Amino acid sequence: MRVSGPAREEVDVKPVRCAVVGVGMMGSSHVQVLEALPEAHLLACCDTDPGAVERLPGGVPLLTSLDELLGRYQLEAVFVCTPQDQHLPVVEACLAAGLFVFCEKPIAHNLETADLMIEVAKRAGGRLAVGHTMRFDPDYVALADMVASGGIGTPVHLSARRNVPDFEGRMLFNRTTLAAEVGVHDLDLFRWLAGPVERVFAMSAETSTLGEGAVDAVIGTIRFATGAVGVVEFNWIMNSDSALSADYRLAVFGTEGAAYVEMRDPVTMVYTLEGAKWLRTGGQYEVGGTATGIVATEDRHFLATVRGLRDWPVSLEDARAALEVALALDRSLATGRPVYVETGRKCVV
């Protein structure tokens, strides 16, 4: 195939020989996209659960050993979609093998591990990319471009919500937090739009909707280093069987205007004799066999990065900072106090 390079010259590009490690919810999405992209040659997948083979396209083998995967195939890139606390050993092994690595967000489950990953990545020559998918959504990119151009003046007040289906909450609440898994999307967007965060304060709903002791929803206030303020709200208790199983919004209010992205996910509605039905199209879809959607855009960008045709738009420091803000919200929930972020200052009342 041919892809337009940075100098607008057409260059021959061979499909990137790649694999996916971790075939859960996001891993399965990447598998489907990579299998459909002409830029990718999906050689194999790896998961400790042998039953994951049922989630793979026909002809794509499943291995349960990472060492075997790295030793058997002539890979160029690996997509790491394991649980957060397993990112480091997989990323480290793949980088040591000389591969480019895409790692799902958040970068890690704590800052110490995130710092280790960044150190390993720098020694490996910058071959690690952390996937913050919303950075590849055209709607958010258009909003960010408008804000960066000064089209709405100086940001003063930001507002975001990200409410996701309860199947995600039931699957994940025992192994991560709502802030780190869901909230980190908009926390990264907030920093992208308004710069470093200085202080956060959070409150949670714990109604036993997902299980005893589970955090069902979080509301947080944000103080930016610029003096701007923001509010985030997110939950993972939207009824999966409801016509409205997810709900997203991002708004920026500036000194000269305002900008919105508002989605009730998915946005495509069909009315039939059986009732109203929402079609999921934003994350991924196929048009005549061609993968589309934000996951496909993200994966294509990473594959072009492997070939040296693109730069990755999310720095490792950005990925770490988004995690730091998410963890600060968790600390605020635990202490009932505001928590300072990115300043080195301690939590104060």
pLDDT tens profile 216-263: 999 999 999 999 999 999 999 999 888 788 899 999 999 999 999 988
- Which residue, 12, 32, 15, is CA-closest to 23? 32
Structural domains for the chain = 2-131 (3.40.50.720), 135-307+320-340 (3.30.360.10)
Beta strands in the chain (DSSP E): 2-4, 10-12, 16-21, 40-46, 62-63, 77-80, 100-104, 128-131, 155-165, 197-205, 217-224, 229-238, 247-254, 257-263, 268-272, 275-279, 285-287, 290-292, 339-340
The radius of gyration computed from the CA coordinates of the chain, to the nearest angstrom, equals: 20
Has residue 346 got a pLDDT over 70?
no
Distance CA 320, CA 185 (A): 12
At 169, list the tokens.
């909450």
| Phi, psi at 309, each rounded to 5° | -95, -15
pLDDT at 348: 41
- Residues 118 and 97: their CA atoms lie apart, in Å, by 17
pLDDT tens-digit readout, 270-300: 777 877 666 665 666 667 777 778 999 999 9
Contact 37, 292 (CB under 8 A): no
- Token digits of residue 130: 């952390």
What's the average model confidence in pLDDT over 144-155? 96
* pLDDT confidence band for 265 (50 / 70 / 90): low
Nearest to 201 by CA among 49, 33, 348: 348
Cβ contact 211:172 at 8 Å = no
Check residue 226 and give its pLDDT.
97
- Record the tokens describing residue 184, joined without a space: 């980190």
For residue 201, give both structure tokens. 């304060």
Q: Which residues of 129-161 are buried (b: 16+ CB within 10 A; e: fewer)?
A: bbbbbbbbbebbbebbebbeeeebeebbebbbb
